[in-house]
Structures are given as structure tokens and as C-alpha cells.
Structure 1
Amino acid sequence: MFSSNVMLLYGKWQTTDVRQWDCETTCGWLEALGLDAYVPAARAWLRGEARGALAAAPPAALERELQLRHPLHKKKIVLALADLMGAHGDPLLTAAGRLDGAWALRWLEDVGVCGARAAAADAALDGRLLHRLTHAELHAHLRVAHALHALSIRRGIQVLRDNKFNPETMIRRAPEADQSEAQSEEASGELARWSSHRVMQWLKEIDLAEYAPNLRGAGVHGGLMLLEPRFTAELLAALLNIPANKTLLRRHLTQRFNDLLGRDVIQQKRNAEQTLGYQPLTATTKYKVPKKSQFSLKRKKSKDDLDLGDLVCPLNDDCSGDLMASPTMKVKAATAGVASAVCPPRDDARAH
């Protein structure tokens, strides 16, 4: 909870142009961002400075003067300042700014990547950082080591963008109603919004309650199942630790998985398997940070230092962020490119 003084300053920075901020307003803003550890350095720096010194400072000066101790803290401040000053050309950056650190930690639970929570807390991860998270940052600073977890975060970000970073995007529980309403929930395109817990509830609904706990921390949520071309019923069975000799049980899971996702999506997954260069995804596949493409090597940083590498979920990836695309278009686009940004077999296998 914020103190009354911080809440007063919160209102001040919300209503005052960042170019006019004084020292106290800036310190209140840092506390609201969850970066209160840097308030003493900010006071020492800004006390004798003119208004707007924070907005005028280049990223290197911010890092030096605030004595920033984590690379993502610097990026968090740079993104937040870019959002406040506008002209960044990314409407979703502003929408993502509504989601704070506490929300981001809960979201990691929702997508089933609980193992990254401690590192995310150290990084002060929030909605803007998720939106602009790079592969290098995910691997080095959130310490994600498995491809499945990286894909879980990628598809989770895609779902957030498709829902304009609505804080209520994730569906955590089944509706308290009859089966017909539950089926309506699936048919309405809300499967992509299912949290990991909701997927586990579904497993109980299809008489696989014994195996549902095995999905904890596996990174399986509705968006991953629906949008990732390499996520199959066979992979789900392996994650659930259903023995290979229990063929009837595996067949039952496959049928219910196919029913849940729908004929078109399943056909697209099958088509993807036939594509040259297809690499099956397993629970133990290691996360390899993709090498920079020729385009990204030539690309220059913007003056705001926002272009910091290849994003986990590219801004125009698979129609995510395209607010005019229908759910069907998004699913088809998502399965069109066999190689995900995680562990691509080669650059030309990507579909953009």
C-alpha cells in the first residue's frame, strides 16, 4: 500500500507533464513504479536540477545518476517515460502501462511459469516490460531455460495484446453454470484466455483428475494450446505423465483435446507437422535464444533506446496486436509459421 504522501504525488504525476516534474513528483513516480530503492539517488541527483531533468536525460544518464542495478529497471523507466511523453507509435504500450508488478507476478502464475516469479520480482516486471520483452532478457534476467516456458510466455503476451492488455484477460475458473454454458465459453473464442488453472479444471471435467496436478508449473494455458502450432495432444499427454502403454487413456485425451480446439485448428497443426524443417516440441527442449536476423542487425536504435533486441513476441507476430483481426485469422496466422521464435531451425522458416 502507498502512503498518503505517495498517493498525493501519484495524482500529481498523473496530471502534470513529465517535462515539468520536480524532484518530489519524480520520486513519487518511482515509488509508484515499484522502484523506490532508487529514490535516494533520485533526490541526490534532482534536488538542484531544473524541472523536467528526468525527461530530458538520455538512458545512459538515467542509469548513471539513478545508480540502476538491474538492466530491466533501466528499460522499465525508459519505456514508462516514452509512454508518458507519447509519440512512440505503439498504442499497446499505453494499454500495457495499466499492469503493474503485482499483476505481472500473478500473470506468470496464470500462464504456468511460476518458476520465473522470483526473477521477475527482482526485475520489477510489469506490463510494458512484458510487451517489449526480448529473448535475451527472458533467458538471462527471467532465467527461463526451457523452450516450452518461453513459448508459454510468448503466446501469453500474444493473448494479452489481442485483448488490449485488459487486466481481466485471463480466465482462472470455469463458469458456475451447467455444461451448456461451459461449452458456450469454449465456442465463444475464450479458450485462448484460459489460465493454467482453468486448463487443469478442464482435465478434471474430462475425467483426468488424477493427472491434472502434473501440469503445475508446466507452462500450459489456453493460448499456448490454441496458438502454438507445435503444441499437440501427444505433448500434453507427456506433460501429464500418462504412460505410453495406457493407449485408451491417451486416445481419450486426444479426442477431447481435438474437440476443445476444433477441427480447423487441429488440421492446421497437422499441416504444420508436414512442413519442411518442423521440429517437435518436448517437455525437455532447451530454450535457445535466436540469433539476430539480418534485418535486426541492420536496424538502428531509436533515440529513446526502445529498440533493444528481438522481442519474445514480435509486435506484429501472428496478428497479435492487430486489433482488426478476427480470432480465426489469428489462429490461422499463428499456425502458418511452423518455426516459433523459440529455437527456430533457420531464419527462412519463419512466416511474417
Structure 2
Amino acid sequence: MKDEGEFRRGTSSRSTAGGRLGSVGPYTGMASGAVPLRPPVQMFVQWNTDQLCEWLAEIGLSLYVAEARRVVQSGRHLLTMTHHEMEKELCIKSPLHRKRLRLALRAIEEGTTDPASRMDYHQVLRWLDDIGLPQYRDAFAESLVDGPMLVALTAEDLIHMRVVTALHHATIARGIELLRNCGFNLNRIQRKFNPAAITKTPCPHVVETWSQHCTSEWLRTIDLAEFTPNLMCAGIHGALLVLEPTFTAESLAEVLQMPAHKTLLRRHLATHFNQMLGPDIVARKRDVLAQPFVVQLSPALRVRLLKKGFSLSRKKSKNEVYVEPDELVCQP
């Protein structure tokens, strides 16, 4: 996915941290035990095995404490371990768990505070509900996805968590973009629909903060309530409508499963959709979609990972988009 966020054609062990997940907050203070979650690197490198094992449990990786107790000698030792060593010596087979550990170590090493660290595991799960993708809660919880990990997710990471449709990749990408825009403050997401806020159109800044519930309620106000059940687990939140250049009124009609021959209904939806977003955003979407290899989002579109030596001329499909495995879901 490129900087604009458009889709281009050509372009599992479970943690046993249990209740500890509930104690994880912004990674700047003390953990529920005796060790800080984000200590100064000068302190961390001197930690002994017991302190490191407690720290691993506090960040949700208690499944690997036994191996760490056997192998890891100090904080300095853990900091210098490679991905291969983490997999072989600590037995961390899950690539997402290795990423979780690597990101936590990097934060300590760099001594930086990421605004995304305001979101813990549970807030990420609540965010999935807000953007309309509750079906991925278990996968995200098992992969220990917190705020810093959320912004570091790649296309391959999402595929690993069985997020395979281009629509849901875009839903997550635009959801992350909204979080960045509002400083990772979940309270900025509108969960209660306010019809008065859209009486004067265009109003993209209002729509951008909508949860999927608000999208559903908006459809009711324009006499399309019969189609709202089709939004269940569809991931149609406001930031997707506004910020994703390949999501159009036609995309929404397909998600709602409006019959193609219901031209008046589709025109009715498109009129309200375009009025709400405004001519500038609608024109930008049209310009992006006019570019070579850019495809309009639809529920049928699937994400495929490009492999080394892969030639797009060998296989083309109107229902597939190809992305680099290590491409960030949402570019900074």
C-alpha cells in the first residue's frame, strides 16, 4: 500500500499471561510487580534473570519465561539476541510474539515514548469493535497486539492473523491513520450518532471520527435501514469512508449487498455519500482510481503477498491485489 493508502495490483501459540494483560497500560510507569515496563537502558542491561523473567511476564510473554530462565543471562544478553536466537533459544515460534518482544526491547534501547503506547491490549480490542471488525479480537489478543505493535503491523502480519481481504486491510489502515490524527485517544472516536452534526454538508471531519455503529445509524436516516444488517463485521467506519481513496459509494453499495439492478437505490446512496464527503474528497478518489493498476475496493478483493521472482504477467486477477510482505499496513 502506497503513501496515499490506495491498493495497487502489483504492488500460533497462545500467551498464558492471563490477568496480566489487564494490568498493562502506557509503557512508562511501573508494572504491577517490582520491575518497570520501560526502564532506562542503563538499568535494563544490568538486570538479572529473575528480573527479566518478571518483565517478560508483565509484557504478556509469560509463555516463554521457562526458556528465558534457562538461557538468558542478563538484560544486555536479551537486547543483543537476534530473531533467529529468539526463535531457537527462547522457542518463540510466533513471528508476532517475536515482533512484540523486539518492539519492547527497541523502546527501551532508544529511550523513546511513542504516543501509540497509550493503547494497551484491551484498548486495541475495543478499537476493533469501534471500526467494525470484532471477529479479529481473538487473533489480535493471541498475537499480543498493543498500540506500538498496531502501528508496526505489516501486510504479512495481517495475513498471519487471517485478515485476507483488501477491504479489511484498508479498514485497519484507515483506523490506524485516524488514531495517529487524534493522538491515539480512543475517546475521539464517535460511538453515538449525532444527526445534528451532519445537517450542514459537506462534513468529512465529522464523518472521519465515526465508529461503524454511526455509519449504520446514518444509513437509517437516509431510509436504508433494510441494508444495515449487512454491515455486521464489515469494518465500515468513518475514517474508511473519508480517508481511503479507493473506497467509493459503489464500494459501500457492494458491502451493503444492494442488487446491481436497483439503480435508483444505488443512486440515492451515492448522492448522500458524496454530499456528506464533499466534492474535493470525491474528486480525489476519482483521480486516484484513474491511475494505472489502482482498483476500487470491494468485498471480493483479496490481498496476496508478492514473492521473490514473482511476475505479475504470469497471473492476473481482478479480485486480487499484490503487496510486499514487509509493507506497513499504514505508512507513517
Interval of TM-score (by shorter of Structure 1 and Structure 2): 0.7 to 0.9
Distance across 2 between alignment mates of 1:19 and 1:169 = 38
Query: How far apart are 1:169 and its partner, in Å?
Result: 4.3
**Corresponding residue to 1:71 among 88, 92, 95:** 95
Instruction: Specify the alignment match of 2:244 in structure 1.
Output: 228
Instruction: Specify the alignment match of 1:347 in structure 2.
Output: none
C-alpha contact (below 8 Å) 1:233/1:254 kept by paired residues: yes
Provide TM-score, normalisation by structure 2: 0.76
Query: How far apart are 1:106 and its partner, in Å?
Result: 2.3
Distance across 2 between alignment mates of 1:137 and 1:290 = 14
Distance across 1 between alignment mates of 2:87 and 2:54 = 18
Q: Secondary structure at the match of 1:105?
A: helix
Query: How far apart are 1:147 and its partner, in Å?
Result: 1.2
Deviations 1:25-77 (A, max 9, x none): 3233222322221222222334xx24543234333333333221311101111
Do structure 1's residue 261 and structure 2's residue 306 form an aligned pair? no
Query: How far apart are 1:168 and its partner, in Å?
Result: 3.2
Instruction: Specify the alignment match of 1:172 in structure 2.
Output: 191
Summarize the alignment of residues 1-352 of structure 1 with structure 2, pairs less than 5 Å apart: 1-2=19-20, 7-10=32-35, 12-15=36-39, 17-46=43-72, 49-50=73-74, 52-86=76-110, 94-139=114-159, 141-175=160-194, 179-181=195-197, 183=199, 187=203, 189-290=205-306, 309-315=326-332
Distance across 2 between alignment mates of 1:20 and 1:190 = 50
Distance across 1 between alignment mates of 2:232 and 2:61 = 31
* Equivalent position amino acid for 1:35 in 2: L
C-alpha contact (below 8 Å) 1:114/1:217 kept by paired residues: yes
* Equivalent position amino acid for 2:132 in 1: G
Query: How far apart are 1:292 and its partner, in Å?
Result: 7.5
RCO higher in structure (CA 8 A, sep ≥6):
2
* Equivalent position amino acid for 1:149 in 2: H
C-alpha contact (below 8 Å) 1:211/1:241 kept by paired residues: yes
* Structure 1 gaps, min length 5: 294-307, 316-352
Q: Secondary structure at the match of 2:187?
A: coil
Deviations 1:170-206 (A, max 9, x none): 322224xxx4345589837242222222211221222
C-alpha contact (below 8 Å) 1:292/1:310 kept by paired residues: no
Distance across 1 between alignment mates of 2:54 and 2:275 = 51
Residue identity over aligned pairs, in percent, reads 37
Cα RMSD (Å) of the superposition? 2.9
Q: Secondary structure at the match of 1:8?
A: coil
Rate the CA distance shift 1:38–1:185 in 2: closer, same or farther, 3 A: farther
Distance across 2 between alignment mates of 1:290 and 1:167 = 34
Rate the CA distance shift 1:264–1:25 in 2: closer, same or farther, 3 A: same
Q: Secondary structure at the match of 1:287?
A: strand
Distance across 2 between alignment mates of 1:135 and 1:45 = 32
* Equivalent position amino acid for 1:260 in 2: M
* Equivalent position amino acid for 2:182 in 1: N
Distance across 1 between alignment mates of 2:140 and 2:146 = 9
Distance across 2 between alignment mates of 1:240 and 1:230 = 17
* Equivalent position amino acid for 1:217 in 2: C
Instruction: Specify the alignment match of 2:313 in structure 1.
Output: none
Distance across 1 between alignment mates of 2:197 and 2:243 = 23
Distance across 2 between alignment mates of 1:68 and 1:290 = 25
Q: Secondary structure at the match of 1:20?
A: coil
Of residues 185-194 and 123-132 in structure 1, the stretch that sits farther from structure 2 once superposed is 185-194
Distance across 1 between alignment mates of 2:308 and 2:206 = 34
Distance across 2 between alignment mates of 1:110 and 1:170 = 8
C-alpha contact (below 8 Å) 2:128/2:136 kept by paired residues: yes
Query: How far apart are 1:156 and its partner, in Å?
Result: 1.7
Distance across 2 between alignment mates of 1:226 and 1:264 = 11
Aligned residues: 290
C-alpha contact (below 8 Å) 1:185/1:191 kept by paired residues: no
* Equivalent position amino acid for 1:244 in 2: A
Rate the CA distance shift 1:98–1:23 in 2: closer, same or farther, 3 A: farther
